[in-house]
Structure 1
Amino acid sequence: MIQTAIPFLFMRGGTSRGPYLNRADLPENREVLADVLVAMVGSGHLLNIDGLGGGNAVTTKVAMLSRSEDDWADVDYFFAQVSVDDRTVDFKPTCGNILSGVGPAAIEMGLIPADGAQTTVNIRAVNTGARVVATVRTPDGQVRYDGDAAIDGVPGTAAPVNLQFMDTIGGATGAFLPTGNLIDTFDGVDVTCMDVAMPMVIAKAESFGLTGYESSEALNENVEFFEAMEAVRIKAGEAMGITEVAKSVTPKFGLLAPAQEGGTVATRYFMPWKTHPTMAVTGAQCLASCVLTPGTVADGIAARSNDRPATLTLEHASGQIDVLVDYELTSEGIDLRSAGLVRTARLLARGDVFIPGSVWTP
């Protein structure tokens, strides 16, 4: 069988991992590109045994990078969520964890040069239009991966990658509150539909008879809960103006409960058909915004900070994540100026990934 070789970096970004590719090395046609990514990841098998995927949605993600023609940005970051088992690709969302590796990958690919002990990379998230500033450690002109920064969900420590997110409101739906309401009710469940970094449907855990402290494994085994949640997600997504919700990973779903480990609030995040083992960077920003906005389902669950900026600590299934939010309250909710997070990334492998030539030959 003739195969097509595609250069790639294989990286962990935050609590996700996958191939990082130069967009110039891939087909322009979106349908052909989807076929290429399905073959690359091995979608269609629960273990992705014939590809680079790892049998979980956090390990079937793809980043495609290119030099940006935007006046502000250095790099364009185009994201794809490849399914584990049904050979589909969703180009609607973005991923903040995978974005953690975009700065290092862009330098490794030669898309931008290292600049001193720290290199600032201005990134445009193509899928949502968000602007992100990444600060990468680059002593001696090379990306530094070892360091003392720890993030829950990843063993050990590594060099920090500082991320500052801007222009994240309404990236997918065009509105902070896509339904126009702080609270909507679907199937008897009160939810807040919000679009900050990621369109989400957010509810209280108790609305589904849950504590909000269940492990990701226990939640994944709760078929009754997932059926009820998916029914609410589909109706809420349609009310948010999102098309083909049943086939899309957006909107994502989140649950809130009172903090149990000294944080601001306890959270669980869904991808949406499996429980995220930790927390999505984009989801963290949306959940934090929900907590900061008066009148949402978060009222009475979390103590609302009056600090500007405010640090919110979200407890998740594997630990905690801090979000530094610079915002102002408005008559419509909040004006989110930026959200900052610290992540880590590591280059795992580089070389060529091979796909069947029958899928695509340049």
Structure 2
Amino acid sequence: MQKAIPCVLMRGGTSRGPYFRAEWLPQDVAKRDQVLLAAMGSPHELQIDGLGGANTLTSKVAIVSPSTRPGCDVDYLFAQVSVDRALVDTRPNCGNMLSGVAPFAIDQGMVAASDGETRVRIYNVNTNSTIDAVVQTPGGKTEYEGDARIDGVPGTGAPIRLNFLDAWGSVTGKVFPTGNTQDVIDGVPVTCIDAAMPLMIVRASLLGVKGDETAVELDADKAMLERLEALRLEAGRRMGLGDVTDSVIPKPVLVSASADADTVVSRYFTPHKCHRSHAVTGAIGVATAFVTPGTVAFELGAPRAAGMHRIAVAHPSGRIEVDVELRGTAPSIEVCGAGLIRTARKIMEGQLYIPARFF
């Protein structure tokens, strides 16, 4: 026997996965996770029996519900479903899947659309942070078609503006969870930062790579990957996250210099494979480190005054531009806001069939 549940398959930014209303899934967490594994076809390297695309970027789930929190419209819980293990991780956020949350909520009638643009305030359950999403809604209907282009996605779409309001220290309680802008792990200087996503940032040259390699080239460098994972495990412990062996956070990032003082080259890992483009939350974390004095990434750029600055994070498929707002005076400059443009597309809406035993 199989049980049918409603499902909307969407691309959000450079990721893809099913979007569910929370009420469509079991309320018991263990049962919910079993349903999500079955939905994606995990664990299996090809995810042949589900919706997953045999890649971490296409094995993601968004769960959305009306919010009871003051000032918020919807709650968004992100789930990273492992491809080849029976593991569902709800500790991180995903800014790319976040891109589809506001359109999904409007289409589902959770948020009333205005004529022109609709602002949706989203509470991210994973990181206890708040994001404003501005969606194009001409005539009170969600518009997916448009001229906005993001690297890593073919074609164009309607722009979705994401403004991260309070993402700094949202997971660990501090922007720099270890109390330092730099730590030394096994002789390697790293920056442990919690800005939209807990990250461990390291200079690429210190791990024997240039930092501008393709994702395929970096995935083939097994010695470097093993060293990076060893650093990540210790960074997770120092950040107060405990044993992160079975968690995808903190995400490890390699950074290197660009010829442009407003651009930082980044290679973001998910955490055991290099992202083919870049995570949105990761881009905000990297941009935050790039403009914050004392970090390993700041050394690649230049000092900046208070105000708004556009930082480009270069990745294997192009770049993500992040607008960061700085306050304070040197050396106490800090980021107080960040925003960027994404696109999304509704691919399919219908019934998803799950073996009844999982319910």
Shorter-chain TM range is over 0.9
2:39 aligns with: 40
Q: Mean alpha-carbon deviation: is it higher for 305-314 or for 217-226? A: 305-314
Q: Distance in 2 between matches of 1:302 and 1:231?
A: 27
2:129 aligns with: 130
Q: Give how far 1:300 is off.
A: 2.9
Q: How many residues align?
A: 359
2:256 aligns with: 257
Q: Distance in 2 between matches of 1:192 and 1:151?
A: 28
1:156 aligns with: 155
Q: Distance in 1 between matches of 2:170 and 2:299?
A: 28
Q: Give how far 1:139 is off.
A: 1.0
Matches of residues 345-360 of structure 1 in structure 2 within 5 Å? 345-360=344-359
Q: Give how far 1:327 is off.
A: 2.2
Q: Give how far 1:336 is off.
A: 2.9
Q: Distance in 1 between matches of 2:323 and 2:142?
A: 25
Q: Which runs of 5+ in 2 are unaligned?
A: none
Q: Which runs of 5+ in 1 are unaligned?
A: none
**Secondary structure of the equivalent of 1:309?**
strand
Q: Give how far 1:243 is off.
A: 2.2
Q: Distance in 2 between matches of 1:55 and 1:268?
A: 20
Alpha-carbon contact 1:291-1:304 (below 8 Å) kept: no
The verdict on how the C-alpha distance between 1:329 and 1:267 changes in structure 2, with shifts beyond 3 A counting, is farther
TM-score if structure 1 supplies the norm length?
0.96
1:177 aligns with: 176
Moved over 4 A (4+): 260-263, 330-334
Q: Give how far 1:304 is off.
A: 3.5
Matches of residues 227-266 of structure 1 in structure 2 within 5 Å? 227-260=226-259, 264-266=263-265
The verdict on how the C-alpha distance between 1:315 and 1:85 changes in structure 2, with shifts beyond 3 A counting, is same
Q: Give how far 1:55 is off.
A: 0.6
Matches of residues 100-249 of structure 1 in structure 2 within 5 Å? 100-249=99-248
Matched, 1:338 2:354: no
Alpha-carbon contact 2:261-2:301 (below 8 Å) kept: no
Q: Distance in 1 between matches of 2:78 and 2:332?
A: 29
Matches of residues 67-82 of structure 1 in structure 2 within 5 Å? 67-82=66-81
Alpha-carbon contact 1:34-1:89 (below 8 Å) kept: yes
**Secondary structure of the equivalent of 2:300?**
coil
- Taking only the aligned residue pairs, the percentage that are identical comes to 46
**Secondary structure of the equivalent of 1:245?**
coil
Q: Distance in 2 between matches of 1:34 and 1:104?
A: 24
Matches of residues 294-309 of structure 1 in structure 2 within 5 Å? 294-306=293-305, 308-309=307-308
Alpha-carbon contact 2:45-2:54 (below 8 Å) kept: yes
Tell me the amino acid that sits aligned with residue 349 of structure 2: R
Q: Give how far 1:354 is off.
A: 1.1
Q: Distance in 1 between matches of 2:343 and 2:241?
A: 32
Q: Distance in 2 between matches of 1:273 and 1:43?
A: 17
**Cα RMSD for the two superposed structures:** 1.4
Q: Distance in 1 between matches of 2:330 and 2:110?
A: 42
Matched, 1:3 2:2: yes
Alpha-carbon contact 1:169-1:197 (below 8 Å) kept: yes
Q: Give how far 1:261 is off.
A: 7.0
Alpha-carbon contact 2:289-2:298 (below 8 Å) kept: no
Q: Distance in 2 between matches of 1:248 and 1:330?
A: 37
Q: Give how far 1:331 is off.
A: 8.3
Alpha-carbon contact 2:306-2:329 (below 8 Å) kept: no
1:97 aligns with: 96
Q: Give how far 1:171 is off.
A: 1.3
Q: Give how far 1:260 is off.
A: 4.9
Alpha-carbon contact 1:165-1:340 (below 8 Å) kept: yes
Q: Mean alpha-carbon deviation: is it higher for 330-339 or for 275-284? A: 330-339
Q: Distance in 2 between matches of 1:244 and 1:352?
A: 38
**Secondary structure of the equivalent of 1:81?**
strand
